[in-house]
Amino acid sequence: MKIIIAGAYAIGTYLAQMLSRNKYDIILIDEIPENLEKIGTDCDILTMEAKVTSIKALKDAGAKTADLFIAVTPKETDNITACTMAHHLGTKKTVAKIDNPEYMEPENQEFFKRLGVNSLIYPEVLAAKDIISGLKMSWVRQRWDVHGGALVMLGIKLREGCEILNKPLREISGPDDPYHVLGIKRHHETIIPGGNDTLKLDDLAYFMTTKNYIPYIRKIVGKEQYVDVKNVMIMGGGRTAVRSVKVMPEYMNVKVIERDADRCEYLNSMFKEDQLVINGDGRDSSLLIEEGIRNTQAFVALTPNAETNILACLAAKRMGVRKTIASVENFDYVGMAASLDIGTIINKKAIAASYIYQMLLDANVDNVKFLMSVNADVAEFIPVQGSKITRKPIKDIKLPSGMTIGGLVRGEEGMLVSGNTQIEAGDIVVVFSHNVPKHKLEQLFN
């Protein structure tokens, strides 16, 4: 597959490094040589110093025969223009990063498709969805709904009080139990568990279940004492904060703390009257106490600085906040944030990569999420008639090492699977995979 990435900034360089490991033919274009130099020699891609809106550059990069063109420069106009040009030169699919939420309206997306932009990506909107998902369930690190919630994946940190610790999974998660354990993060190791594996204290475990059994999962992992989030404090009033407040449930009360006075005025014009904006430093403990941090159930740190966000969340936890969410854009700090028990970690690069990565799979894939904490993918695959995965019961199919099937949706009904389950063409199959070559997954479902 031939991929052209326009823009060697945060998302572009991360995508290039991630995709190069899958042996794709990748060209990265940027007009600033210093940006291209940051890629390093260990990344097997070609670079081109040129304007991303140069017709000659796009032709030289091979837009005529490219499978995918991804425009992720900081300028949305350049991204849209470059995608339109690449499309008319012959590129099969194009993706543009944008900054205007108006463009994400369904009727406007159709307009851009007619221009030649197949998909629009607004990382802040995607991040806001993850943040709100985390706030709705204070006891969960990550939640991922399959087919409108027919199946639900929950990432949960296991603490004292969890009643399923130190027992073989075959005893606590058999065919008749209402959940499966898809993956475990233990210290720095990712485990795709088998029947003899056990859950340990402080594991981050990923459960697949159906929506009606979420209360049961909450009980057995010992999280019933976690109160629901009603009061939220957000540090940092950037675009991600704006999008999060815009989609926040009405039963949640929110305060946004922002250092810049001019930005505060803008935020006040954007928010409802009961959504408070405070001009101050979110690192100031006395300010947090004055604004009611001790009666706040969730603290969300969304400044541009990862260290600031991590430290602020730690301070909030010391002041009694149970749920903390930190934006950590620097991948060097992701592992540290996880080890410090920050809570939910938001990384717009990884979120954007999940969305774009979906377009690279040949199999019929509805949804893909990259789980940074465990370096794993969870995806919804739809097998075609006659594909390998549909020919035998699951127990008789040799699945690649590092892969497990969490469940499936047939019609509108979500169901967990066992070794005797026979997958059918058209099912939505949830696959959890860690370090599995993508062609091996595609071979099962195509």
Supply the CATH number for residue 151's domain: 3.30.70.1450
Shared-domain flag, residues 133 and 107 = no
Same domain membership, residue 285 and residue 198: no
Query: What number is the average pLDDT over the span 303-309?
Result: 94
- With H, G, I as helix, E, B as strand and everything else as coil, classify residue 101: helix
What residues make up the domain containing 371? 352-445
DSSP H or E run through 40: none
38 neighbors 17 (Cβ within 8 angstroms): no
Q: Are residues 441 and 421 in the same domain?
A: yes
256 vs 264: CA distance, rounded Å = 9
Task: Report pLDDT digits (tens) over 225-247.
Answer: 888 899 999 999 999 999 999 99
Mark which of 90, 121, 152 sits at the end of a domain.
Answer: 121
- pLDDT of res. 335: 75
- In the sheet that 179-186 helps form, which strands lie side by side, from edge to edge? 142-146, 151-157, 204-209, 179-186, 189-191
pLDDT at 368: 62
Kindly tell me if the per-residue pLDDT of 386 is higher than 70: yes
Can you tell me the mean pLDDT for 426-446?
86
**Does the residue 342 lie in any domain?**
no
What total number of domains does the chain contain?
4
Domain assignment of residue 425, yes or no: yes
pLDDT of residue 363: 44
CATH number at residue 256: 3.40.50.720
142 and 116 inside one domain = no
Whole-number average pLDDT of the chain? 89
- The answer to whether residue 345 is domain-embedded is no
Query: Where a domain ends, among 187, 220, 253?
Result: 220
Read off φ and ψ for residue 283, nearest 5 degrees: -85, -5
Residues 6+ apart with CB under 8 A from 19: 3, 26, 357, 360
Contacts of residue 135, Cβ cutoff 8 Å, sequence gap at least 6:
229, 232, 248, 252, 298, 300, 323, 325
Helix axes 123-136, 239-246, angle to 10 degrees: 50
The pTM of this model reads 0.80
Asked if 82 and 139 sit in the same domain, the reply is: no
**Is 368 a member of any domain?**
yes
Model pLDDT for residues 323-351, shown as the tens digit of each residue? 999 999 887 788 778 778 788 889 888 88
333 located within any domain: no
Q: Please say which residue of 198, 220, 242 terminates a domain.
A: 220
Same domain as 6, residue 117: yes
Segment among 120-134, 324-338, 371-385 with least mean pLDDT: 371-385
Percent of the chain with pLDDT over 90: 63
141 and 92, same structural domain?
A: no
Instruction: Tell me if 337 is assigned to some domain.
Output: no
If asked whether residues 206 and 147 sit together in one domain, one would say yes
- Within a domain: 334: no
How far apart (Å, rounded) are the C-alpha atoms in residues 395 and 123?
39
If asked whether residues 91 and 138 sit together in one domain, one would say: no
Has residue 265 got a pLDDT over 70? Answer: yes
pLDDT, tens digit, 9 for 90 and up, residues 40-63 = 666 778 999 999 999 999 999 999
Q: Give 146's contacts (C-beta < 8 A, 6+ positions apart).
A: 152, 153, 367, 380, 407, 409, 414, 428, 430
Q: What is the pLDDT of residues 148-201, one digit of tens each?
A: 788 999 999 999 999 999 999 999 988 888 999 999 999 888 899 988 999 999
Q: Are residues 301 and 408 in the same domain?
A: no
Give dist(CA 372, CA 253) in Å, integer.
29
Q: Are residues 248 and 309 in the same domain?
A: yes
**Domain assignment present for 346:** no
Together in a domain, 437 and 388: yes
